[in-house]
Structure 1
């Protein structure tokens, strides 16, 4: 469903070049949650930006549902849903208006968008405030609206960038339930986070990034066999010591 092949991106600074993503390759299958993990600066968000077609790679490609970013960036965007820690709701629109607006942006027929809005509102528990202005919602309510917005066009692939940052225990559980739903309906999911304890509970497979390179990849069993460690935190501590 999602293929990343040899993605590479270098940024120039005043006195050096920084290889933010270094020959990165992985695949995510339908119904699978892939944790692209690493500390701040590991290259996670740069990778997502290249997958989304917002940043041109120096080498390599991303392919979503058979469509490559460089050949059809609009087609790729229509096949992706994106959720980040920043909610980005439109405060002067009602929740319903905003969701239908995004459905229209993605070319979803109005009747289909309206039905999806109702179905997803029930799923995420936002029916009581569908017709309230988005700017009046609490942080948790805004978060759930953002999760619904990411699915309004029914994309086969979902990208989640630090989705639990700044959330309380209830908000984090909402994210966990949402990801379980994505898996259950067969979405291919990438979760980018530096919260390794949460990732260990959420993900089916992992890619451990450090300084732009994929250091280890596979299931938790694969990683334990490769590193001799039981927990992701311990694996990353070892990686950072090796690359200090």
Structure 2
């Protein structure tokens, strides 16, 4: 078998893996979009959809990781190809965990609905944060598809806005609970929802970091933004 044929087979395997990764990403985005709709109008069928999708994500994670391991064992890739495979596996893990967070949100909102306790808290802020998290996850997947390190770096900057929203939301929740102790239980549920949204943003940021790792060959996790920009500009 010629080297050219082997290379063609390897490219085909990578393309199939990429298709599976983005299919999984699309399912996670659908999950998050669906669960955010519960903040406007509760619908139990949405809860069931998110639950079933979470099970599907678990299956996809295992299948993609198995394929990554098989490709590494068969092809023994090096350099950027190996980084791509390793990063794909880590991206899959982050997508599965983002799906877990969507399922946590659905369960909390179902609990609030069943309790029937109302609060004066405005959920519009939660919905806004959730939409921000969904947007940066979509952009992170797009950056991964295009291997765009500049877009990846911008995502990491934008995630700071979600973190700030979370801190402000916690402060308002504490004020609400102090003003109306009877609403402590639903307020705590909303706190868990806000934290889950923040974690979705974190998983999107992780995917963006893997883009830089693949292209630049450098692990930029935990680097401050100014150091991150230096790494991107470095040849």
**Band the TM-score falls in, shorter-chain normalisation:** under 0.3
Higher relative contact order (CA 8 A, sep 6+): 1
TM-score by length of 2: 0.27
Q: Which of 1 and 2 has greater Rg? A: 2
Q: Which structure features the higher share of helix residues? A: 2
**TM-score of the two chains, using structure 1 as the length reference:** 0.26
